Amino acid sequence: MVSEEKVKGLINSLSFWKIVSLLLLVALVISIFTPKRFSTTSQKEVKSQITTPPTPGESSEAVLSTKDEETETHKVVKVVDGDTITLDGGKVVRYIGIDTPETKDPRKTLQCFGEEAANENTRLVLNKEVVLQKDISETDKYGRLLRYVWVTTDSGEEIFVNDYLVRNGFAYAVSYPPDVKYIEQFRDDEEYARENNLGLWEECIFSTDISKQPKPTAIPNSNQSSTMVCSSNAYNCTDFKIHTEAQAVFDTCGGASNDIHKLDSDGDGVACESLP
């Protein structure tokens, strides 16, 4: 057995710094194991705070997804007029949501700015690849495909053709339910073109001014001012000189869902078809 005197001697032989070193070693051992327990808890807490990023909004204007199953690509081989084209394969496409002044219909006279609209459409799409997007309807009553059209310029700029023609004053915004995906955008474009006297809004004189708002609205221009009435039957086809004027009133007052003036006799979305 070790005598008490030897134990005391051993203790006394330990210097102060050795005791401190021993304590530090113990503390180090504890620190190595203890954080693992806390770090696991912390990681779980962080994971519980992670949320899935929100899905991008679906209301972005004129944003085309080329992966959309309702899109297809074709080459334009002929431009019929400002809002109609012929594709490779012979199919004819009528642009949705817009109407340009008439140039080709044998039943109608050449309308103001119709030739300019046709020329601009030719410049944009003839002999070029275009991306077509469907809305609800496949074709109109004439068998023409109803589509929104995009084209990419030589500089790489993507142009939404329907939108471009309205915003630059080559076309009117026209609502043909149920194909109304971009109609509010087109109406905003038309207002912009009208307020800035672009294209036909500068060159052509209208017997009836229009507004995008589906309610009575006073709209002055350089020639005249008038109030559009949408709450009662105030017009008939004899009040208009050309089809596009009647169509503008028809669309502004709500289209087929509110044909209070009875301008669309056969319910096909086209007002006063007898007008030039």
Joined together, the tokens standing for residue 76 give: 């334009």
CA dihedral of residues 76, 80, 82, 88 (deg, nearest 10): -10
The reply to whether 69 belongs to the active site is: no
* Helix or strand (DSSP H, E) at 114: helix 114-125
Reduce the secondary structure of 124-143 to three states and give it as a string: HHCCCEEEEECCCCCECCCC
Catalytic residue among 94, 147, 167, 194: 94
Smallest CA-to-CA distance from 76 within 4, 140, 124 is with: 124
The reply to whether 144 belongs to the active site is: yes
Please check whether residue 124 is in contact with residue 118, taking contact to mean a CB–CB distance below 8 angstroms: no
The reply to whether 102 belongs to the active site is: yes
β-strand partners of 145 = 93, 139
- Give dist(CA 160, CA 185) in Å, integer: 12
Catalytic residue among 116, 144, 147, 187: 144
List % helix, strand, coil for the chain (3-state, nearest 5). Answer: 35, 20, 45
Catalytic residue among 102, 120, 190, 245: 102
Please check whether residue 141 is in contact with residue 267, taking contact to mean a CB–CB distance below 8 angstroms: no
Active site residues: 94, 102, 144
